[in-house]
Each structure stands twice: as C-alpha cells, then as structure tokens.
Amino acid sequence: KRLRQLLINVLSNAVKFTKVGGVTLKVGVIKSVEGERVSVQGESEKASLHQTRLRFQVEDTGIGIAETALSKIFLPFQQVGDPKYQSAGTGLGLSITQKLVDIMGGQLQVESTLEQGSTFVFEADFATITSKQNVEKPLPKKSHKISFEGPPRKILVVEDNQDNRLVLTHLLTAFGFEVKEAKDGQDAINQTHEWRPDLIFMDIVMPVIDGYEATRQIKGIPELKQTIIVAVSASAFQSHQQQSQEAGCDDFIAKPIHTEALLNCLQKHFKSTTIEQKLATTDILPEAETVFLQEPSIEQAKTLFNLSLRGDLDGILEYVNKLEKNEPELMPFINKIKELAKELKIKRIRQIVQQYM
C-alpha cells in the first residue's frame, strides 16, 4: 500500500505539470540476494527468503524545476516554480512521498531542467518468500450453514476504530451473538468485569492500554481467566502471534479479517449446528460502511471521487478545507475524509464518497 500511494503521488505530480510529451515509469532490479531459509506456518519444508532491491524512476517532459528551487520541493506546504503553473493544492504531496520513501528505507532524488522536464528516482528493498506452497488458492464465494448451540453467547469487540467495531459487531449479531463494544484496553477491562463476555476480540494496537496489557490484566483476575480472548492484529508475523500467546490470548486472527477465518475461529471455540447463513468470503474490517447524519451532496461526492481516482491527496485536503468553511454541518464527514487522507487511504475515501453519488 505504501508503494502504491508513493507511485500515485509521484506520477500524479508528473502528469499535473506535463502539458506536452509524456510521463514514463521505469522499474528495474538492482540486486537480488537469497538469504536464510525460514519456517512458514503450515508448511513442512523451509522457504527461501530473498532480499530484492528495486529502482523506480519517473520521467516527465513537463515544465521542470529551477535548480535554486530543488531544495524546497520536499518541504511541507511548499510549492515552487512559476505561480501560473502552481496548483491550488496544499503542497503536501511530495513531502508525504519523501516520508514514505524514508519509511521504506530509501531516498527520493530528483534531477530537473527548467522547461525540459524532471526525473524522480528512488530505490527500496523488498523481502519475498519462495516456497512450494506459497500460492494460496482464492476461496470461492459460498453459503455457510452455521449457527451456535445453547443460549446466546456474549462477545466483546475491542477496537479503537469505530468503523471496524461496527462492521464486526453487525456480522456477529447476525449470527445470533450478544455483542458489546469497547474502544480501548481500559474500556475492555471495565466491561469484562461488568458484563462477563464469553469471548473477546481484542485489537492489539490501541490507545490508553494496548491489547497485550488488557489481556494480561483480564487473565490475571481469577473469575475472568476462563474468558476466551482472540488477538486481532494487522501483523501476522509469528513473533507477534507468540507475543499475544505470552500475554494470555487463546487465539489469533489477522487483519483484514476474512469471513472464512472468522467462522473458523467461532466454530473452534463454540459448538455449531447447521442453519444456513449466507456469507461471501470478503474482507470484513476494511469494507466498513460509514454513515453520516448530514450527507454530502452528489456534486460534492463526485468531486471527491474524481480527486481520489487521480490519487490527488492535495486536492482532497484542499476541497474538504473549503467545505469546512462553507458547510460546518458536514464536519463529521469532513473529519473522516481528512483522517483517511492523512493515513493515505485513497481507496477507502473512494468507497465512502461513492455511497452518495
């Protein structure tokens, strides 16, 4: 996702300032080194870990950048060059791009000649694992026949992201579970004391108290230690799964949560019977539907949709800043779009605004 957003930023910047000629993206392998053999969960044979360094080069035949301005182009809120060519954006695009390259362990470089064009170059390392069984077959969409025996079980969903909480809660409720939500680790501890859930889906990275510490505290209380706690994390590394087990978690499920994985988890911990429940094997958490009391107009939604298609983060932020001044009743919607833009979640912005078109 970082690489995709990085390339979108650089390419959209090149297209923006190129009126004649073209924009070219070149990708090449600088070096590839085979490292140690590592164990892969569920496979009997060890796999090969490869370290590959790739070089990305974006060339354009646009207006170019003066040599005196090259040192300023990566500064936040900074636009350089002839004012008549400057966009109405916030000037954050290349600043964010440089930060993304830094995170990936590379360095963004630029060469430019005024009125002739610019070339942006960066290199980054990528790790790949090669094994005989590393190609996972896609799961077909199908109907699951499932229900759960006995009185309704109680499940606590602990997640600091409201959208994620709502979607997981909705799905679990459809299965017949009683569901409550907690927004952080401390809230989870308090609600577990009061409500005594049968199972907790515990997000790991949260404010106030993280999932590891919340699990330790809950499991440390004699009357609560039998509570089933399932760690939920965007990281599926074996070390993180081990850390969750050491904290006291009974199981682990990776984000994005797939319905198939969720069903397997529930069936593992609760007895099930056969009542038909139709579900597609899609990602649960990232596809959360966000609803606002005051909705944007169709025209506003279309504008944001088109900006998201171009990957124009500057344009998105500039547009919602204008909305904030003129239509304060849209603040919940505006704040959500700003939050997603700062997290570089262009696709999620597109999904949200598409609801209102």
Structure confidence by residue, pLDDT tens digits, 101-157? 777 777 888 888 888 899 999 888 776 655 544 444 444 444 444 566 667 899 999
Q: Which CATH superfamily is domain 2-130 in?
A: Histidine kinase-like ATPase, C-terminal domain (3.30.565.10)
The pTM for the full model equals 0.42
Residue 222 pLDDT > 60:
yes
pLDDT tens per residue across span 48-91: 556 788 889 999 998 888 887 777 776 654 444 454 444 433 34
Rounded mean pLDDT of the chain? 77
Residue 324 pLDDT > 70:
yes
Residue 258 pLDDT > 90:
no
What pLDDT score does 277 carry?
A: 45
Enter the tokens of residue 335. Answer: 């704040």
Banded model confidence at residue 249, pLDDT cuts 50, 70, 90: very high
Percent of the chain surpassing pLDDT 70? 75
Question: Torsions phi, psi of 137, nearest 5?
Answer: -75, 135
Highest mean pLDDT among 88-92, 279-283, 305-309, 351-355: 305-309
What pLDDT score does 140 carry?
A: 42
Question: Torsions phi, psi of 152, nearest 5?
Answer: -55, 130
Higher pLDDT, 45 or 17: 17
Which of these, 292, 284, 287, lies nearest to 172 by C-alpha position? 284
Banded model confidence at residue 303, pLDDT cuts 50, 70, 90: very high
Banded model confidence at residue 338, pLDDT cuts 50, 70, 90: confident
Looking at the domain 142-286, which fold is it? Rossmann fold (3.40.50)
Q: Rounded distance, CA 285 to CA 292, Å?
A: 18
Banded model confidence at residue 172, pLDDT cuts 50, 70, 90: confident
For 279, what's the count of Cα atoms within 13 Å in the CB-facing half-sphere? Answer: 23
Dmax (CA) for the chain in angstroms is 74
Contacts of 104 (CB under 8 A, 6+ apart): 2, 3, 6, 124, 125
Banded model confidence at residue 28, pLDDT cuts 50, 70, 90: confident
Higher pLDDT, 320 or 36: 320
Enter the tokens of residue 239. Answer: 């070390």
Residue 282 pLDDT > 70:
no
Beta bridge partners of 113: 117
pLDDT, average across residues 282-294: 48
Handedness of CA 178, 182, 188, 191 (dihedral sign): negative
Domain ranges of the chain: 2-130, 142-286, 290-354
What pLDDT score does 304 carry?
A: 92
**Distance from chain centroid for Cα 289:** 15
Residue 210 pLDDT > 90:
yes
